[in-house]
Amino acid sequence: MIDKNARVLLIYTGGTIGMVENLETGALEAFNFSHLKSNVPEMRRLHFNVDAYLFDPPFDSSEVGPRKWQDIARVVEENYDGYDGFVILHGTDTMAYTASVMSLMFENLTKPIIFTGSQLPIGKLRTDGKENLITALEIAADKDKDGRPVVPELCIYMQNLLMRGNRTTKVNSENFSAFNSPNYPYLAEAGVGIRYHDKFILQPDYSKPVVINSRLDNNVAVLKLFPGIQEHVVKSLLSVPGLRGVVLETYGLGNAPTDRWFIDALQEAIDKGIVIVNVTQCLYGSVEMHRYETGQHLEKLGVVSGHDITTEAALAKLMILQGNGRSPDQVRELMTVSLRGELTER
């Protein structure tokens, strides 16, 4: 049920969806998004209010980082009380990172924040941008019979699928189906109508306010294992000055080499207070370090199981927890707990 009095704030950060082709050079350039409704005339048929906030200049998603995440969160925070929902247009390349970080910034979120974008510019004839934009706006304005948002979560909507933001990863650089949620069901599927899967949608405590905390500490790194990885590569990464957290991408169920130099390097890092979180390189499935001896070695060292969390969400969670002054022991404990539905607890 879409309330005709609903107000949605459309936030344009940049990305392919806001590009047009320069007819002389063939290059993609940002167009004046203040003329959005003339470029997407279908928006005139929406029966609710849509206002726009434009980042000027817009930024490519490959340039995103802590400062820009904080800027986006600040726009939502400053307008939170004035709108029923938010749609954020963002480049697809790092959308899963941004969605993961921002989902952890907002505690007890009571309104929808929907990220979307496109693989083709909105000015292209075959663009996927128009459908993504229109449906994202409708989801942001949709309410249940009690007048509450149907999806009070931070999500990504792309190509007919609504996914929890901190569960998504980009899986395709060319197809319109660019994102997937490997280890958590879709929150909604759009066809002739929008079919919501209510039992998978997080519900806030409406008696309590939303808490927004955008402090971040990005002294983190990703160490992806591969057969033949050299000792000096591992040790040089783990000895980066100021490093506080590492996402260790392991094989299968969380397995890793048992070479003495490797075990010693991890132990030395953990003894220095660096939190090491084990995530699987597999797109689907979960870390279960107790299953094999190679994983048990990591567990005994104090490597933390990331369960089925994505690399994007694991990085985001480390940044948020460290930014809030948590001790290494507290970070280790909270990395195994679901804060915003980002992992499945065992």
User: Is the confidence at residue 28, as pLDDT, over 80?
Assistant: no
Most confident of the ranges 1-5, 84-88, 170-174, 285-289: 84-88
Backbone conformation region of residue 184, classed left if phi is above 0, alpha if psi is from -120 to 50, else beta: beta
**Could you count the other beta carbons within 10 Å of the beta carbon of residue 190?**
21
Q: Which has the higher per-residue pLDDT, 18 or 192? A: 192
Question: How does strand 188-190 pair with strand 19-21?
Answer: unpaired
CA 306 to each of CA 5, 154, 303, 311, 314: distance values in angstroms, whole numbers, following the listed order: 42, 21, 9, 9, 7
Contact 230, 260 (CB under 8 A): no
Q: Which has the higher per-residue pLDDT, 27 or 174? A: 174
Report the DSSP beta bridge partners of residue 277: 247, 304
The stretch 164-176 carries a mean pLDDT of 92
pLDDT of residue 333: 96
- What band does 268 get if pLDDT is binned at 50, 70 and 90? very high
Q: 3-class SS at 315?
A: helix
User: Is the confidence at residue 35, as pLDDT, over 60?
Assistant: no
In the set 13, 16, 94, 169, the catalytic residue is 16
Q: What is the pLDDT of residues 125-141, one digit of tens each?
A: 677 878 899 999 999 99
Q: What is the pLDDT of residues 326-337, one digit of tens each?
A: 999 999 999 999
User: Mean pLDDT score of the chain, rounded to an integer?
Assistant: 92
pLDDT of residue 23: 67
CA 111 to each of CA 10, 81, 135, 221: distance values in angstroms, whole numbers, following the listed order: 14, 10, 16, 32
Span between the terminal Cα atoms of the chain, in Å = 36
pLDDT of residue 110: 97
Q: Which has the higher per-residue pLDDT, 6 or 17? A: 6
C-alpha 151: how far from chain center: 16
C-alpha 190: how far from chain center: 20
Q: What is the pLDDT of residues 194-253, one digit of tens each?
A: 999 999 999 999 999 999 999 999 999 999 999 999 999 999 999 999 999 999 999 999
pLDDT of residue 40: 75
Amino acid 30 reads: A
pLDDT of residue 245: 98
State yes or no: is 16 an active-site residue. Answer: yes
- What band does 120 get if pLDDT is binned at 50, 70 and 90? confident
- What band does 118 get if pLDDT is binned at 50, 70 and 90? confident
- Can you tell me which residue has the tokens 């490597």? 303
Q: What is the pLDDT of residues 41-99, one digit of tens each?
A: 777 778 899 998 989 888 888 999 999 999 999 999 999 999 999 999 999 999 999 99
In total, the chain counts a number of residues equal to 346
Q: What percent of the chain has pLDDT over 70?
A: 95
pLDDT of residue 175: 82
The stretch 339-344 carries a mean pLDDT of 97
Identify which of 10, 22, 95 has the alpha carbon closest to the alpha carbon of residue 54.
10
Q: What percent of the chain has pLDDT over 90?
A: 74
User: Is the confidence at residue 6, as pLDDT, over 60?
Assistant: yes
pLDDT of residue 80: 97
